[in-house]
Amino acid sequence: MTRTDIPSRDTIIAELDEVYHGPAWHGPSLRESLDGVNASIATFKVAPNRNSIWELVQHLAHGRHLLIERLTQTTFDYPGAVREPWWPIANPDVSEASWTQELQLLDDYHRRLVDAVRSATDAQLARRPNAGDQTLAQQLLGMAIHDAYHAGQIRLIALSVVI
């Protein structure tokens, strides 16, 4: 079944911002979930093969980078190495200053994504990058869902450090 309805630009922006900044109806927003997380908490892993909060933040920033590229049909460098699609390589500098920079990068990419949606044409939002893909409008709403999912993970990881 192919969806032909395209969510409005205002709906996309509202959902991206609600789940990112809050207040979100479902609970803490992504940024609210990161409140109080310092570099030590951000690097904690519940198991060796699990992602840390820091890695999730890099993943969320890189996901925005990819959606901006898809929406604008341009490419630009991501400020870090990438190990596989959607997953940057963990930053070896785990200082508080570096953690603050990661959070700033995430905020910057969120702002850039919202700006790209705001200036996108209806055709850009309706575009399917590849046959069988969801429209970019649907992918952007998916980013909001993706943020909510990872906000929950971040809360659970942070809680496991405190316990």
DSSP 109-161: HHHHHHHHHHH--HHHHH--SSTTPPPHHHHHHHHHHHHHHHHHHHHHHHHHH
What's residue 87's pLDDT?
Answer: 82
Instruction: Kindly list the domain boundaries of the chain, sorted by start residue.
Output: 9-162
pLDDT tens across 57-115, in order?
Answer: 999 999 999 999 999 999 999 888 888 777 888 777 889 999 999 999 999 999 999 99
The answer to whether 90 and 54 are in contact (CB under 8 A) is yes
The answer to whether 29 and 150 are in contact (CB under 8 A) is no
CATH of segment(s) 9-162: 1.20.120.450
Selected residue with higher pLDDT from 163 and 123: 123
Q: What is the model's pTM? A: 0.92
What's residue 163's pLDDT?
Answer: 55
Hey, what are 145's tokens? 């869902």
